[in-house]
Structure 1
Amino acid sequence: MMAKEYKFSEEHRRKIGEAIKGKNHPNYGKRGNKSKLGQHLSEETKKKIGNKSRGRRHSIKTKYKISEGRKGKYGLENNPNWKGGISFEPYSKEFNKQLKELIRKRDKYKCRECSIHQNNLTTKTGKSYILLIHHIDYNKLNCLPTTNLLSLCRKCHLKTNYKREYWIKHFKEMTTK
């Protein structure tokens, strides 16, 4: 036996709507869809979702809201990469354009980690850039060209921001060979 379909009056539908607004709504405070929780998606489905989202841009209003929400959240001490303010320390006077060019020339204009030539360095937007000079011991005042400085591309230089002890050991071994 099928349940009878009720036709609510306009007044009654309005009252039901008012009764379940805000905190009284059965889904108030709940997040997501529990039926989908823990469900694994196929690679094909993941690609479809990704392709659908690709190329979409946030509106200026949305970008502003995201920006406002993030302000101060990761500033200075709150940033997981915070090293006590060492980025504000000045470089020594010897660390200048001439010294940097000397290091690049010594390294034959190649990244010491991946060996890519400076002429082949480009950003995602297609702009070319020159090799960066890295301090092996991360001490900005130690500018000895033979023992503490070497040329790196951006990709390799970014890697050196993490696991510093590993990179110090790695580059010291590289320079002693």
Structure 2
Amino acid sequence: MEKGSNHTPKALEKMRQRKWSKATRAKMQGKSHSAETRAKMSASHSGKTLTPEHRENIRKALLGHKISPETRAKIGKAALGHTRRLGMKHTPETIAQISATKLQPENRAKARAKKLGSNNPAWQGGISREPYGWEWDEPLRESIRKYDGYKCRVCGVPQMECDVALNVHHINYAK
């Protein structure tokens, strides 16, 4: 067979049968891998990430797979006493490391980008300027102050006597 060519369907089926044959399965039946072998297998798999297609294939394969009540009981029994990190705290060194990582400009930019627009938990569909509209900005407010001669329409106090710029909602109080 040439390099890069695929196996024929017949050859694939033959390999599948060999892989799942009784003889193949019987080799490890009643045995378990040694700690050294398990460590080697773990090391060979660490760092590998599954592609989205691979993850989707696994999801499809497990779709509709029901776990028996006996298996559920075994899983529950095995999980007893495993409370993850409940009650545990990070060491001061770890806290300092996390803090330093969060303060890096590239990480701050990534975190900010993840919370922009519709990704923000407080996002309400873009209605942040709803009462006024997008045209209600500082240049428009400044033009209104200029039109009024920088005096309050209600009390006539000039802006120079105020500590802040005049409020321009006084025209008709309608937003």
Query: TM bucket by the smaller chain?
Result: under 0.3
Say which structure is richer in strand.
1
Give the TM-score normalised by the residue count of structure 1: 0.26
Say which structure is richer in helix.
2
Give the TM-score normalised by the residue count of structure 2: 0.26
The structure that has the greater radius of gyration is: 2
